């Protein structure tokens, strides 16, 4: 998707750590402008420092569950770099627990970040992309939403992320006439600060591959999709085979 006259621009939500930070690094390596969203300026400043403070990095702080934040994210990306070519809806909360134990507050948080964050950012990006007749939206969902696991009860995240898997296909159809692709990557367990080292043994047992994914493996899958010009409506599992069935 590289433009012949200027670098392409990718917008990444939840970009200050974990998968989001890895995505920012991967796209900077590819020569993209990167517009990163996180909740605070402090988190974005720390991310920029870790990435080497590149000139092609712009941080936009705010809660992605708010429509105003999503619109500001796209507006500031366009103001700084002229256009948005890729949106990666990475921001998300994953809270695994028995279904009967979810609280009203936890339900509200999961819906706000995971669902509203996807909807508002995608709306803002699509409004920019449709008149340009080009663009790509990638949603980071969850492999467990493709194949639930008795060992990891997580019904509410499965409900929301599974819905986004279905929405990925529906939005791909709706935006196809405008030459906009929509895909998803559904990771399994990934080696991020979310998972302390002492839990890696159990977590590695959740995939037939016998290990957890690296952040770079998730980034490589996203890079593949945004470089594949005739691929849309795909939910690509990157989970060591966990969603293929039972073992």
How many Cα atoms are found within 13 Å in the side-chain-facing hemisphere of 184? 26
* Any domain includes 153: yes
Q: Answer whether 181's CB lies under 8 Å from 133's CB.
A: no
Run means of pLDDT, 10 residues per run, the chain, 247 residues: 72 97 98 98 97 96 98 98 98 96 98 98 98 98 95 96 98 98 97 85 91 97 98 98 86
Cα–Cα distance for residue pair 211/194, rounded to 1 Å: 16
pLDDT at site 146:
97
Is 247 domain-assigned?
A: no
Given strand 33-38, what is the order of strands in its sheet? 57-61, 33-38, 9-13, 86-89, 135-140, 180-187, 235-238
The CATH number of residue 110's host domain is 3.40.50.720
Number of domains the chain contains? 1
Nearest CA-CA partner of 54 in 24, 91, 74: 24
Work out the mean pLDDT of the chain and round it to a whole number. 95
Using CA of residue 23, residue 146, residue 104, residue 119, what is the dihedral sign?
Answer: positive
Q: What is the pLDDT of residue 247?
A: 67
pTM of the model: 0.95
Assigned domain for 246 exists = no
In a domain, 105, yes or no: yes
What is the residue range of 109's domain? 9-239
Q: Is 244 inside a domain boundary?
A: no
Give the pLDDT of residue 13. Answer: 98
CA 160 centroid distance within chain: 14
């Amino acid at each position: 998707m590289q433009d012949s006259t200027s670098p392409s621009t990718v917008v990444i939500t939840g970009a200050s750590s974990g998968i989001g930070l890895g995505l920012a690094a991967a796209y900077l390596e590819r020569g993209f402008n990167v517009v990163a969203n996180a909740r605070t300026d402090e988190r974005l400043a720390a991310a920029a420092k870790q990435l080497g403070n590149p000139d092609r990095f712009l941080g936009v702080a705010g809660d992605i569950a708010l429509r105003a934040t999503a619109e500001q994210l796209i507006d500031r990306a366009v103001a700084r770099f002229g256009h948005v070519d890729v949106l990666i809806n990475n921001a998300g909360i994953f809270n695994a627990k028995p279904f009967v134990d979810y609280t009203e507050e936890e339900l509200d948080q999961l819906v706000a970040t995971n669902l509203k964050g996807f909807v508002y950012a995608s709306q803002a990006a699509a409004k920019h992309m449709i008149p340009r007749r080009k663009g790509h939206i990638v949603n980071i969902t969850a492999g467990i939403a493709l194949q639930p696991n008795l060992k990891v009860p997580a019904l509410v995240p499965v409900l929301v992320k599974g819905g986004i898997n279905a929405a990925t296909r529906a939005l791909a159809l709706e935006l196809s006439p405008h030459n906009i692709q929509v895909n998803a990557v559904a990771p399994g367990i990934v080696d991020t600060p979310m998972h302390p080292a002492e839990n890696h043994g159990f977590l590695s047992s959740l995939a037939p591959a016998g290990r957890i994914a690296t952040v770079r493996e998730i980034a490589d899958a996203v890079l593949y999709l945004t470089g594949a010009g005739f691929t849309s409506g795909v939910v690509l599992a990157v989970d060591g085979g966990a969603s293929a069935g039972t073992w």
